[in-house]
């Protein structure tokens, strides 16, 4: 799999939420998923909801299963804020 880094440039007119984050702050790596599978749409909806609800990125954990969905944590909130470890290890309050 190829990894393409997203540029860290932010346009000065990007809208910020109440916490001062832009929608780009909630995004992760460039997606390598198939365009028609729906996972990108689901990730985009989660990103939009977290941004609109003013949820701090470090307060969100995306846990994944197997198959294509196991790749989705990389596509939002950045790899340092996602978990591929068991839920009990990643989120002790589960």
The helix or strand, by DSSP H or E, that contains position 89, with its residue range, turns out to be helix 87-90
Q: Within a domain: residue 20?
A: no
Domain count, the chain: 1
Does residue 18 carry a pLDDT above 90? yes
Which domain does 52 fall in, by range? 33-82
Query: What is the tens place of the pLDDT at every residue in 23-62?
Result: 888 887 777 777 777 777 888 888 899 999 999 888 887 7
Residue 1: per-residue pLDDT: 46
Residues 6+ apart with CB under 8 A from 43: 31, 72, 75, 76
Between CA 44 and CA 55 the distance in angstroms is 15
d(CA 81, CA 76): 9
Categorize the per-residue pLDDT at 79 as very low, low, confident or very high, splitting at 50, 70 and 90: very low
3-class state of residue 16 by DSSP: strand
80 pLDDT exceeds 60? Answer: no
Residue 14: inside a domain, yes or no? Answer: no
Kindly state whether residue 51 falls inside one of the protein's structural domains: yes
Residue 67 lies in a domain: yes
Q: What percent of the chain has pLDDT over 70?
A: 56
Q: Does 19 fall in a domain? A: no
Q: Could you tell me if residue 88 is inside a domain?
A: no
Examine residue 17 and state whether it is found in any structural domain, yes or no.
no
pLDDT of res. 83: 47
């Amino acid at each position: 799999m190829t990894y393409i880094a997203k540029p860290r440039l932010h346009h000065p007119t990007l809208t910020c939420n109440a916490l001062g984050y832009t929608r780009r702050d909630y995004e992760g790596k460039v997606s390598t998923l198939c365009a028609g599978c729906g996972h990108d749409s689901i990730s985009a909806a989660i990103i939009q909801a977290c941004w609109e609800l003013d949820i701090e990125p470090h307060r969100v954990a995306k846990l994944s299963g197997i198959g294509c969905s196991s790749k989705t944590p990389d596509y939002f909130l950045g790899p340092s804020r996602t978990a591929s470890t068991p839920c009990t290890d990643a989120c002790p309050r589960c």
